[in-house]
Structure 1
Amino acid sequence: MSSPLLTKVALGTLGAGTVATGAVYLGKDLISSNRSKAKTSIEALIERSNPEKRLISFGVGSNPSWQLAWKAYREDNRDNERDIWNVEGWTQDKGSIGTVDAPKAFMDACESKLSQEVLDTTDSLYSQVVKYCTRVTLVSDLINENEEKSLLHRGDNFANNEDWKKVWAAYKDANKDLAQDEWNLSTWSTLKEQENVPDAFVTKCEQKSKAEEYKLDQPTYLDVLKYCTKSE
């Protein structure tokens, strides 16, 4: 005849073993899940997860976006004897940090990190690249990424340029019944009678194309797409 106490001990041992086994399997599942989660290059992840950002064009340290990025990097590393990216030629800033051209070594450091792979946007390196190697997305970026349209540029003879005259005619037609046009061009009552493209219209296109925007359904982008581009 078996002892009730022995039975309880046996059951308890079995239960503990089951829990332990379950924990082992659970741990394996978590490890397996982390291992199976695909990594993505930082460049691809920025494109997918941060549409409000664009990579700064490489090569010109005098680009204002590079100047601001370099200033931010120096400010964030001013208390460190060695900067986080080990940029060649780095020297610690002791005093006031001004805006200067970004050195090639810093731009190269940015470029070298774009192909590195991370799990997601929480990776510290990803956050650093977004902060130091990108700028805000502009309307002009969205236009440049549109395969069917290209942005019109001022040129030497914009007033008589056929592409400019075409969009100017469309703009006048859309605003012909308004006392004041939607872009609030000065002397609209006079301008709307012109066939040649006025400087004020081209200037407004230039201003709007430089506006910050990353959504394709917003008025500023749609305006530029309609009145400041030509078909490819």
Structure 2
Amino acid sequence: MHSLAAKGIAGFVGSAALSGVTLWSIKASRATEEPKSISKLLGEKRPDKRLLFNGYQGKTDGSQEAWRFAWKKYVGDHSGLAKNPFSLTINSSLVNAPAEFMNACKNLFGEKVLNQESEKYSLAFEYCTRDALVSDWIWVKGKQLVNSNSGNWGNLWNKYQSANKYKWNAAEVDSQDKFKSKCTSEYSAPAGADNDVSVLRILEYCSEDRPANSR
């Protein structure tokens, strides 16, 4: 046999064997995966997201911006189709997320799946999540935004002025009132991780311990 042909056959056999090993490894890895609830899997894989629940921000009418956005996306993706994954009546005139849509999300959260490739996981991620906010990260640390009527804002403003880290643009925060306003607005801003500078800043200058009965 010609040496080049022999090398070609050997290379093909080697590649085929390697592909077989790789495929086997993938199958073996998937076989050992333990089913997890969608809520747990999303918490592990996407800490920058939060599940949307009915009652978020103390409202149950679906009027929250995050719920409205999710519903609008769902309607846009499935309007005019014969079927939709949640088997809902698509009413594009509804601005607030209907209870049926919010309940469909809730029912998904406890479903157990193997990984992020699951269709149910994808549905939950696509239509039933929101961005994590600074307030979420502050909350899990046992803190909350200082009450707007607290007399401690003056002390916090003095602390901020004398500090040299996690500072806002000086022109944006040149008075106690502006400082307080900045704390309030940034508390509700998106933050992908607990080491985001916004989280560290609010934690350092704008937070207080949560009441014991809220922990």
Q: TM-score, normalised by structure 2?
A: 0.74
2:159 is aligned to 170
Are 1:209 and 2:187 matched, yes or no? yes
Amino acid aligned to 1:171: Y
1:40 lines up with 2:36 in the alignment: yes
Map 1:119-138 → 2, pairs under 5 A = 119-138=114-133
Q: Distance in 1 between matches of 2:172 and 2:134?
A: 23
Which letter does structure 2 place at the counterpart of 1:68? F
Pair 1:79–1:153, CA change in 2 (3 A) = same
Where structure 1 has 5 or more consecutive residues not aligned to the other structure, the ranges are 1-22, 176-180, 192-197
Alpha-carbon separation, structure 1, partners of 2:161 and 2:29: 59
CA contact (8 A) 1:56 1:133 kept: yes
Q: Is the 8 A contact 1:42 1:118 kept in 2?
A: yes
Unaligned runs of 5+ in 2: 1-19, 211-215
Aligned residues: 182
Q: 1:58: Cα distance to partner?
A: 1.3
CA offset at residue 85 of structure 1? 1.2
Aligned residue among 106, 110, 127 for 1:115: 110
Query: Which residue number corresponds to residue 52 of structure 2?
Result: 56
Query: Tell me, what secondary structure is at the counterpart of 1:206?
Result: helix
Classify the secondary structure of the residue corresponding to 2:53. Answer: coil
Give the CA deviation at 1:132. Answer: 0.6
Q: Deviations over 1:17-55 (max 9, x none)?
A: xxxxxx9xx98x987765542100000011000111011
Find the aligned partners of 1:183 and 1:30 in 2 and give their Cα distance.
Answer: 50
How far is 1:173 from its partner?
1.8
Task: Find the aligned partners of 1:187 and 1:112 in 2 and give their Cα distance.
Answer: 44
The match for 1:67 is 68
| Gap change, CA 1:207 and 1:187, over 3 Å in 2 | closer
Decide whether aligned partners of structure 1 residues 122 and 65 sit closer, same or farther in structure 2, where only a CA change above 3 A counts: same
Q: Given the alignment of the two structures, is residue 226 of structure 1 paired with residue 215 of structure 2, yes or no?
A: no
In the other structure, the counterpart of 2:134 is: 139
Do the aligned partners of residues 36 and 173 (structure 1) sit closer, same or farther apart at CA in structure 2, a change above 3 Å counting?
Answer: closer
CA distance in 2, matches of 1:132, 1:187: 37
Instruction: Give % identity.
Output: 30
Change (3 A) 1:68 1:123: same
Amino acid aligned to 2:105: C
**How far off is 1:79 after superposition?**
3.3
C-alpha displacement at 1:216, in angstroms? 2.1
Whether the aligned pair in 2 keeps the contact of 1:67 and 1:99 (CA below 8 Å) is no
SS at 2:163 equivalent = helix
- Is 1:81 equivalent to 2:82 in the alignment? yes
- Tell me: CA distance 1:227–1:32, structure 2 relative to 1, closer, same or farther (3 Å): closer
Q: CA deviation at 1:153?
A: 3.1
- 1:214 Cα offset (Å): 2.1
Moved over 2 A (4+): 29-37, 181-188
Classify 1:184/1:66 alpha carbon distance in 2 versus 1 (closer, same or farther; 3 Å). same
Alpha-carbon distance between aligned partners in 2 of 1:204 and 1:30, rounded to the nearest angstrom: 49
| Whole-angstrom CA distance in 1 between matches of 2:112 and 2:127 | 17
Contact 1:113 1:129 in 2 (8 A): yes
Cα root mean square deviation, aligned: 2.7
Paired with 1:168 and 1:113, the residues of 2 have a C-alpha distance of 44
Task: Measure how far apart 1:82 and its partner are.
Answer: 2.2
Give the Cα separation in 2 of the matches to 1:42 and 1:203: 37
Bigger Rg, which one: 1
1:212 is matched by which residue type in structure 2?
P
